[in-house]
Amino acid sequence: MAMTPLLIKADDFFCKREQSEEIEFDSGMEEGNPVIIAGFGRFGQITGRLLTALNIPFTAMEINPEQVDFVRKFGNKIYYGDASRLDLLRAAHADKARIFLLAIDDAEISLKTAAIVKQHFPNITIYARARDRKHAYQLMDLDIRLIRRETFGSALEMAGLILEGLGMSRQKAKQAMSTFREHDTSRLHAHQNMHTDDEKMIALSKSSRKELEELFEQDKFV
Amino acid sequence: MAMTPLLIKADDFFCKREQSEEIEFDSGMEEGNPVIIAGFGRFGQITGRLLTALNIPFTAMEINPEQVDFVRKFGNKIYYGDASRLDLLRAAHADKARIFLLAIDDAEISLKTAAIVKQHFPNITIYARARDRKHAYQLMDLDIRLIRRETFGSALEMAGLILEGLGMSRQKAKQAMSTFREHDTSRLHAHQNMHTDDEKMIALSKSSRKELEELFEQDKFV
């Protein structure tokens, strides 16, 4: 069977002249890589693979030592252990990195890591995987803004496929998906902003059923 | 804070005259809904909410009885129990539905349900959530083609965000994401087709490490 080759060259994608200060990852950094990926499971691996295909080096942190030691073969680094450990973050040169992908599946360890990184490495930008809305709110409480809920993207793609399966044109389905995504994201931010700290705590302890019921009502009637 | 209202009307999206035979969901079916959503968790809820916003009725099946009985308020039906139970599928009128969204998170129950639905309701089209590549292969073995791995969409979005954070233009980042998605999907199908049954079993038992290593090599050298 014919394969589609993955021919991606970073040079073709980055506008070096226009943004020369931004592009430091290919200048042969000796100590630190521009990107740290904490949690190298199903989620973090996608960024790892895409960066590898583009020859952009990264440093991975993963608690499972059997998982991914081969990533070294591609010029990357990997540190084993709990990414919320300050000594490990220092060893991984979190002080030199620009981007920290927080892709840990366990919400508690994710939040603990986020707090440590925020405190000790204020210059790094955190991109965070969230398990669900509640986890997303907790990340937002730590002033993290670049968040993706881990099943949202695929679930929305699937909803679009189903609309097409029901007879909707692809263009209309994409439009419905886009409207839904914008609406849902604005709800996420609105819920966050509407709460005082005390109320937030109550909101977080609400059952998921209650929140989902509210979402259905808002989707339909707002 | 101002809300963005979600104003979606099915009438605006579906081309009724052109595809009148396709659009049966709004003709007041008494017995069955056009869509069954098995597993009403984080994944299935997105389709449920989008369909609700479009006034398209669905039937949900969910094993947790406390979760979502409110969906009835929106004109939908819900059945509690294991969606792999034939009596429950019959009660949910799987024989009348056109689309079956298999959104169960547990891979084993998902596969069991898929097999039962395929056997007893051959006319329904299954759209499946997969936990990972291995689960996707197993669904493909059941001749299911409309599959989305549950974290892939969000993980790829995140990779794109990170490329932009590194200085890549949005357009180029989207192009890289699109190339990666096509490559990854073609590998998924190629692996499936290259195996005989015995080899397939070996492939499925390979560690995720081995498979990822192959993917890295293919990304880089093919």
Taking CA–CA distances from A55, the nearest residue in chain B reads B220
Instruction: Identify all chain B residues contacting A23, using CB atoms and an 8 Å cutoff.
Output: 166-167
Closest to A104 (Cα-Cα) out of A122, A119, A116: A116
Q: With an 8 Å Cβ cutoff, is B71 touching chain A?
A: yes
Does A220 have pLDDT greater than 50? Answer: yes
CB B129 to CB A155 under 8 A?
A: yes
Does A35 have pLDDT greater than 80? Answer: yes
Distance CA B56, CA B10 (A): 8
pLDDT of residue A183: 86
The model's pLDDT over A126-156, given as tens digits with 9 standing for 90+, comes to 999 999 988 999 999 999 999 999 999 999 9
**Percentage, residues of chain B above pLDDT 90:** 53
For B:100-159, CB contacts with A below 8 A are 101, 103, 125, 127, 129, 132, 146, 148-159
Average pLDDT in the A80-95 region? 94
Instruction: Identify all chain B residues contacting A161, using CB atoms and an 8 Å cutoff.
Output: 127, 146, 148
Residue with the larger pLDDT of the pair B75 and A221:
B75
Q: Which of A12, A34, A156 sits opposite B166 (nearest CB)?
A: A34
The model's pLDDT over A92-103, given as tens digits with 9 standing for 90+, comes to 999 999 999 999
Query: In angstroms, what separates the C-alpha of B80 from chain A's closest C-alpha?
Result: 15
Does A205 have pLDDT greater than 70? Answer: no
Distance CA A115, CA A109 (A): 10
Q: With an 8 Å Cβ cutoff, is B164 touching chain A?
A: no
The model's pLDDT over A51-65, given as tens digits with 9 standing for 90+, comes to 988 888 999 999 887
Instruction: Identify all chain A residues contacting B148, using CB atoms and an 8 Å cutoff.
Output: 154-155, 157-158, 161
Structure tokens at A138: 């907790």
pLDDT band of A10, cuts 50, 70, 90: low
Q: Please, where in chain B does CATH 3.40.50.720 lie?
A: 31-150
Residue A95 sits at φ, ψ, to 5 deg, of -70, -20
Structure tokens at A38: 């904490």
The model's pLDDT over B135-190, given as tens digits with 9 standing for 90+, comes to 999 999 999 999 999 999 999 999 999 999 999 999 989 988 988 898 888 878 87
pLDDT of residue B184: 86
pLDDT of residue B65: 74
Instruction: Identify all chain B residues contacting A209, using CB atoms and an 8 Å cutoff.
Output: 66-68, 70
Query: In angstroms, what separates the C-alpha of B218 from chain A's closest C-alpha?
Result: 8
Specify the CATH number of the domain A31-150: 3.40.50.720
CB B190 to CB A218 under 8 A?
A: no
pLDDT of residue B187: 79
Query: In angstroms, what separates the C-alpha of B96 from chain A's closest C-alpha?
Result: 14
CB B3 to CB A190 under 8 A?
A: yes
Our CA dihedral for B163, A117, A139, A156, rounded to 10 degrees, sits at: 30
Going edge to edge, which strands form the sheet with B77-80?
B77-80, B58-62, B35-38, B99-102, B125-130, B146-149
Q: With an 8 Å Cβ cutoff, is A190 touching chain B?
A: yes
The model's pLDDT over B50-98, given as tens digits with 9 standing for 90+, comes to 998 888 999 999 998 766 777 887 778 999 999 999 999 999 999 999 9
Report ipTM (2 d.p.).
0.83
**Residue A36: helix, strand or coil by DSSP?**
strand
